Every structure is written in C-alpha cells, then in structure tokens.
Amino acid sequence: MILMDDLRSRLANRVQLTTDSHKAYLEAVEGAFGGDVDYSMLVKLYGETPEAEKRYSPARCIGAHKQTIEGNPDPAHVSTSYTERANHTMRMHMRRFTRLTNGFSKKLANHAHMVALYAVWYNWIRLHKSLRTTPAMAAGLTDHLMTVGDVVRLIDDLEIQK
C-alpha cells in the first residue's frame, strides 16, 4: 500500500499499470488509484520440469495471460518486462539481492543506503551503452557526466548546511 500510495503521489496523469498476480496489489492499487487507472495483471503460469527436483531450480513459466482489473488497459502494453529487467540489473550489480549470499545488510537502514547509492550511481554516474550517456543526462537533469567524487562533494555540502 505504501508503494502504490507513493507511486500515485508522483503521477500527474492517468496511467496504465501492470502488476504480476500477487494478490496484495489488488487492494493496494484500488486504495491508491480508485478507478483513476488502467490496471491489468499479467498472470504467469508455472509448471513442473525435471529440474524442479533440484534444490534451487525455479519452476518453468509455461504461459501467461493478461487480465484487465480496472479501466481500459491497452493489451499491447501489458507487460512486467521493464520491471523484471530493472530487478535483474539491480541483482547483478548489488549481490546482496541474490540468493545464498553473505553480502546482505543486517540493518534495514544500511540496506536502504546501499539502494540509494546504487540509484545515484546507475542514473547519474554510469554510462549506459544503449543511451550512450547517463539516464540523468538523457532526461535533461544535468548537462555533464558526474563522478563518485561529485556525489561525495554533494553529500559533504549537505552535511555542512545542517
């Protein structure tokens, strides 16, 4: 509910929203958006495979269907691929998100700080091959490539202002 309320507060216009079939989204989206959203669920169907008997093998996706929940979502744009790709990229860059690792955060605050640092690095410092620039530069938020030193100076400046 907190996630959906936060998302709604950041949007100025009606949007199309797709979630996976986790039931908690039904109440959260309804509570945040009411009827002011084109909302669909992408329900994935999983089946057993010979690998399923192995200890950590995921089930195989054998199909999916699109289910309209609210409004009039365009079926051509019902997808969780962008979010799944972002989650994959985050897991690959921050090993604390992978299973069976000892690089996890014992304190929630430390975990939140790491996610924030990753978001700054990914959007403001890292050059993306497909964009040939940073996302912040592509969005017009800055006209120059930032460095880790630039970010440290910004943090220091904020601390001095306090």
Is the pLDDT score of 149 beyond 90?
yes
Q: How many angstroms separate the CA atoms of 159 and 32, rounded?
A: 35
Binning pLDDT at 50, 70 and 90, where does residue 107 land?
confident
Share above pLDDT 70 across residues of the chain, in percent, rounded to a whole number: 90
Mean pLDDT of all residues in 109-118: 88
Q: What is the pLDDT of residue 53?
A: 62
pLDDT of residue 35: 92
pTM: 0.70
pLDDT, position 51: 59
* CA torsion, ordered 8, 24, 46, 59, to nearest 10 deg: 100
pLDDT at 146: 93
Read off the pLDDT of residues 15-46 as tens digits, 9 standing for 90 and up: 999 999 999 999 999 999 999 999 999 999 88
Give the pLDDT band (50/70/90) at residue 61. confident
Of 106 and 117, the structure prediction assigns the larger pLDDT to: 117
Mean pLDDT of 110-134: 91
**Residue 154 C-beta-side C-alpha neighbours within 13 Å:** 9
pLDDT of residue 23: 93
Backbone angles phi, psi at 63, to 5 degrees: 165, 175
